[in-house]
Amino acid sequence: MSAPPGGRAMGWAAGKLAEKARKWLEIAPRDAPEPEPGRVDLRGCWALAGAWAAALGGVQLAETPQVFWAVGLWLAAGTGLLALLRPRHGRLGPAATPSFAAPALACAAAGLVFTQLVLTGAGSNPATLKEAAASGSPVRVQLAFTAAPRAGTVIDRFSEDAREHRQFTVEARVLSVARSGNWIVSGVPVRLSYPESRAGGIPPAAGTTVEVIAKVSAAEPGDRLRFWLNAAADLLPVGEPKEPGVFEAMRARFVAACAALPQPARALLPGMVFGDRRGADKALNEAMKVAGLSHLSAVSGANCAMVLGFVVALCRVLGLGRAPTLVLGLGALAGFVLLVGYEPSVLRAAVMGTIAAVGVHASRGRNALSALSLAVVLLLAIDPWLAGEPAFRLSALATAGIVVIGRRLAERLNRWMPAVLAEGTAIALAAQIACLPVLVALNPSFSLYSVPANLLVAPFIPWITVAGTLGVVVLMLVPPVGLALVWLAGMPAMVVGILGTWIASLPGALRPWPAGAAGIVLAWGIVLGVLVALGQVRPLAGTWRSAARLGVQGIATGLLLGLVLPVTALVPAPAIDWLVVACDVGQGDGMLLNAGDGSAVVVDTGREPGQIDACLDRMRVKEVAAVFITHRHADHDGGLEGVGDRRSVDALYYSAADDPDDPPVITDGRGREPEAKQLGSGATGNAGPLSWRVLGPIPSGLFTDENDASLVIRFEIQVPGAPRPVSLLATGDMQEEAMGQLIDRGLITHADILKVAHHGAANGGVRTAPAVRPVLALISVGAQNTYGHPSDTALRALEENHVVALRTDIRGTIIVGWDGKGLAVSSLGPGPAAAP
């Protein structure tokens, strides 16, 4: 039904809006018969499976195998098509369903992806860069920035003088490489890093062309940026500096206008409108992640849908027909892409939005899964490296979840709540459930309040997106009106930021999830359980034919989701991936150090055996090379029994002041009791790649109480590929004066990681941080403890010395690993608040 023309358009629109509002507020009868699930169109899934498999494997192959695969797949697809066209198999259409049709479709999609890989690799000429990476010698290159450089504050993690400096990282394409006095044309995509001191006045903008002498290292197989370049000399401009374009100027003016907004709107609004997160600090970004709202500050399909929806609604009010509405909507979408920039996420969202709009225009809105499959195949054909990117997997999963689960879930929820609330809840739940297998593979934790958080902020998002996008344009034309739009979008953005920060502070906002294969299997069980509960998969229903058909649907749906789940997530990580783990044991200390081959060294055990036992299980520790009890307080040795549960323990070391004749006792999984040995300054030892030296307590040192008897140990871990061992200083609960004695004697020197003394208490002193100059400081502390740990004094001392402080009460179990280039940190989310 089209809108009446002329002056009655507004009245017609108002009537339609009232009718829509009435439907939104309706609650379906609870005894209403449930509609039968419609048939799921799975034809597009075969093409999606072929394209995704080709993209995941193809990007890791050399040029010659890519050519062979492309030719072979096209031959296989052509053979299938010829067989399909034979009269006895029927013509192309609904009746043509022989068994070889699906493989032919999959081969055609895979061949398309391999063809794109061959074409994009032609003329890239990476040989010179490969030689430079192998030899370690620097090369002179000319390259063009393909994106704006991203600035960050970093620390040279393996310098004895670990000073903070500003570093730029930028994606670029090599134009030419100098070799034997000649410039060799290239086209290799790379990533360039350079400190601010070497920027040479180069403008940080996309399109800038520079010349630089750089050291080269090869990227991981499958990385779209094939080499990592580190500038060894100043960047030199090539040609005239590129002037900022119109759209860059519009974005810059919008960011400048946002500076007048209060926080957190000032930091959030540019990100929510066009993905610019530069104004948000670490605390705000972390809070948005914990609350499950970080996706709002990245341009996605939701932004494109809102822009399209606004234009379509405006066209309907004006009485325009379907065709003009489609043209204007796609034009607005193209303008939005130009406005926010050519980021991969933006292009991905625009392609999906365009296909969805054309599908609705062609009255094929019910075949949403086919539209999603087509969008994904086209995107993988354009950019095969998307298949390995978590953001793309999550985007496809969320859309698939909404398509397969969302509608049925909304119908069920509508029996208990108004339609508008049921639909919003269903969309948020469906997206979160579908994304769960990938989310827990990336980080075994989940946001407990993500769904209610997204429901709370949902009414603000369309207003922020539409008003903010209009503000970007209007600021260039009528600045006062544009500034008003900035404030109209900024106020709800501020509410979103306040809500996100508050939700992130709620108890248990980030919950842990089982690590490894068990967590992945559990996540898949939830997905399949929801499909069965909603009637999308009925393995025992009807005749054997219907059961088989529904079984195939379930398998194909699982395949669609499985393609986006990295296979490596089900494979246990090698032991050397983690180096140091600060276990979340509540108000106490418990730390693991990797000794290789499933073995670890344990430093303190917390108060409860179950907590340290769970931490050891998470890290797949089967053997304990040594246990160090730094001193005899319950929050350090109370969990000792949990270490020996089902594990062998080779050695037990301790220190004590009150009663050294009462050593700790442990029985390991073999029924043995290793002898407890009291250590003092100068003791040394090793286990696999790990070695240690006890620095304190020193003989005749100052002892005010048991805390000052704490073992202070320097550990060093040999890491393959690292220029030197990674070092850790464990300090137990040693207090200020006793630690001062060690510092004054020169026993405390630089270490990469510092375990902060006494849970960050004020009596730990402020001299340790400048003496150690660590990259990371680990604070083991219980949530909501009554001691006031960590103290402002300790945190301020770390901040003044530019040390990143990581706390178990905020992050839960903290894992420090090695990513091939430096230290990397992940966490499992805080557990329930422990008793003080």
Neighbours of 153 (CB within 10 A): 10
Pull the structure tokens for residue 7.
Answer: 């002056």
Distance CA(785)–CA(607), nearest Å, equals 14
With b meaning 16 or more CB within 10 Å and e meaning fewer, what string describes 434-450? bbbbbbbbebbbbbbbb
Q: Tens of pLDDT along 205-247?
A: 777 888 888 888 777 666 677 788 888 888 888 866 566 667 7
- Write out the H or E segment, with its range, that includes residue 231: strand 227-231
- pLDDT tens digits along 468-502: 888 888 888 888 888 898 899 889 888 888 888 88
The residue type found at 11 is: G
Out of 280-284, 470-474, 648-652, 695-699, the most confident range is: 648-652
- Residue 644 confidence class, pLDDT cut points 50, 70, 90: confident
Query: End-to-end CA distance of the chain, in Å?
Result: 66
Q: What is the mean pLDDT of residues 505-520?
A: 69
Q: DSSP assignment, residue 752?
A: S
Q: What angle do CA 520, 521, 526 make, to 5 degrees?
A: 100
Which residue in the block uniquely carries the two structure tokens 């009414």? 459
- Short-list 148, 128, 151, CA closest to 214: 128
Return the CATH number of the domain spanning residue range 127-237: 2.40.50.140
- Specify the residue for token string 């009245």: 11
Contact assessment for residue 646 and residue 694, using Cβ atoms and an 8 Å cutoff: no
From 448-462, 530-544, 689-703, 770-784, the region with the lowest mean pLDDT: 530-544
Q: Which of 98-102, 266-270, 524-528, 688-692 has the lowest mean pLDDT?
A: 98-102
- How high is the pLDDT of residue 187? 77
Cβ–Cβ under 8 Å, residues 25 and 328: no
**C-alpha atoms less than 13 angstroms from C-alpha of 29 in its C-beta half-sphere:** 4
What gap in Å lies between CA 278 and CA 149, rounded to an integer? Answer: 11
> To which H or E segment does residue 110 belong?
helix 101-121
471 bridge partner residues: none
Q: Which residue has the higher pLDDT, 833 or 51?
A: 51
Placement of tokens 């003394």 in the chain: 757
pLDDT of residue 267: 84
For 94-104, write each residue's pLDDT tens digit.
444 455 677 88
**Rounded to whole angstroms, how far apart are CA atoms 493 and 293?**
12
Residues 85 and 411 sit within 8 Å (Cβ to Cβ): no
Q: Report the DSSP beta bridge partners of residue 691.
A: 686, 716
* Measured distance CA(748)–CA(740) in Å, rounded: 9
pLDDT in tens, 622-634: 899 999 999 988 8
Q: Is the peptide bond before 264 cis (omega within 30 degrees of 0)?
A: yes
Structure tokens at 55: 């993209």
Residue 569, amino acid: A
How far apart, in whole angstroms, are the C-alpha atoms of residue 183 and residue 603?
56
Mapping DSSP to helix (H, G, I), strand (E, B) and coil, where does residue 807 land? strand
DSSP string, 149-174: PEEEEEE-TT-SS--EEEEEEEEEEE
Q: What is the pLDDT of residues 591-611, one digit of tens each?
A: 999 998 889 999 999 988 888
Q: Which of 165-174, 280-289, 303-312 has the highest mean pLDDT?
A: 165-174
Q: How many whole angstroms separate alpha carbon 731 and alpha carbon 747?
A: 12
Categorize the per-residue pLDDT at 299 as very low, low, confident or very high, splitting at 50, 70 and 90.
Answer: low
At residue 626, the pLDDT reads: 94
Residue 780 has pLDDT above 80, yes or no: yes
* Placement of tokens 């953001």 in the chain: 391
Cis peptide before 830 (omega within 30 of 0): no
For residue 320, give the nearest of 4, 629, 104 by alpha carbon. Answer: 4
DSSP lists the bridge partners of residue 230 as: 193, 215
CA atoms of 344 and 355, how far apart (whole Å): 17
Q: How confident is the model at residue 188 (pLDDT cuts 50, 70, 90)?
A: confident
Neighbours of 309 (CB within 10 A): 14
* Tokens found for residue 544: 């054997």
Q: Which residues pair with 712 in a beta bridge?
A: 696
- In the 3-class helix/strand/coil scheme, how is 283-346 assigned residue by residue? HHHHHHHHCCCHHHHCCCHHHHHHHHHHHHHHHHHCCCCHHHHHHHHHHHHHHHHHHHCCCHHH
CA atoms within 13 A on the CB side of 69: 26
Give the residue among 579, 501, 24, 503 at the shortest CA–CA distance from 284.
Answer: 501
CA distance 327 to 452: 36
Lowest mean pLDDT among 359-368, 382-391, 673-682, 733-742: 359-368
Closest by CA to 378, choosing from 103, 82, 628, 51, is 51
> Does the pLDDT at position 737 exceed 50?
yes
* H or E element that contains 714: strand 712-717
How much is the pTM? 0.57
Determine contact, residues 419/25, Cβ cutoff 8 Å: yes
Q: Which of 811, 800, 814 is nearest to 755 (CA)?
A: 814
Helix axes 282-290 and 479-504, enclosed angle (nearest 10): 60
Are 826 and 815 within 8 A, CB to CB?
Answer: yes
Kindly report, residue by residue over 564-587, the tens digit of the pLDDT.
444 434 433 333 478 999 998 888
* Greater pLDDT, 547 or 432: 432
Highest mean pLDDT among 93-97, 147-151, 603-607, 718-722: 603-607
**Residue 511, burial from CB neighbour count under 10 angstroms (0-12, 13-18, 19+):** middle
Question: Given a cut of 70, is residue 363 above it in pLDDT?
Answer: no
Pseudo-torsion of CA 147, 395, 450, 408, nearest 10°?
Answer: 160
Contact 293, 453 (CB under 8 A): yes
Predicted local distance difference test score (pLDDT) of residue 96:
43
In the chain, what are the domain boundaries?
43-121, 127-237, 247-389+449-513, 390-448+514-572, 575-827
Most confident of 415-424, 568-577, 752-761: 752-761
- What is the β-pairing status of strands 182-185 and 209-218? unpaired
Q: Taking residues 676-704, what's their average pLDDT?
A: 85
> Which CATH architecture fits 575-827?
4-Layer Sandwich (3.60)
| Confidence category of residue 91, pLDDT binned at 50, 70, 90 | very low
- What's the pLDDT at 833? 37
d(CA 574, CA 163): 31
| Distance in angstroms (rounded) separating the CA atoms of residues 834 and 832 | 6
Q: Which of 172, 165, 259 is nearest to 209 (CA)?
A: 172
In angstroms, rounded to a whole number, what is the distance separating the alpha carbons of residues 166 and 6?
A: 60
Answer for the pair 751, 777: CB distance below 8 angstroms, yes or no: no
Across the chain, what does the average pLDDT equal? Answer: 75
Cα-Cα-Cα-Cα torsion 113, 118, 120, 122, nearest 10 degrees, comes to 180
Contact 158, 724 (CB under 8 A): yes
Query: Amino acid identity, residue 61?
Result: L
Q: What percent of the chain has pLDDT over 90?
A: 8
Q: Are strands 776-779 and 753-755 parallel, antiparallel or unpaired?
A: parallel
Contacts of 477 (CB under 8 A, 6+ apart): none
Residue 775 dihedral angles phi and psi, to the nearest 5°: -80, -45
Rounded Cα gap, residues 466 and 310, in angstroms? 7
> What is the chain's Cα-based Rg?
30
Amino acid 388 reads G
Question: For 134-138, what is the mean pLDDT?
Answer: 74
Of all helices (H) and strands (E), which one includes residue 686? Answer: strand 684-687
64-69 long-range contacts (CB < 8 A, ≥24 apart) are 66/114, 66/117, 66/118, 66/121, 67/118, 69/110, 69/114
Q: What is the pLDDT of residue 568?
A: 39
Q: Which of 334, 270, 337, 321 is nearest to 297 (CA)?
A: 270
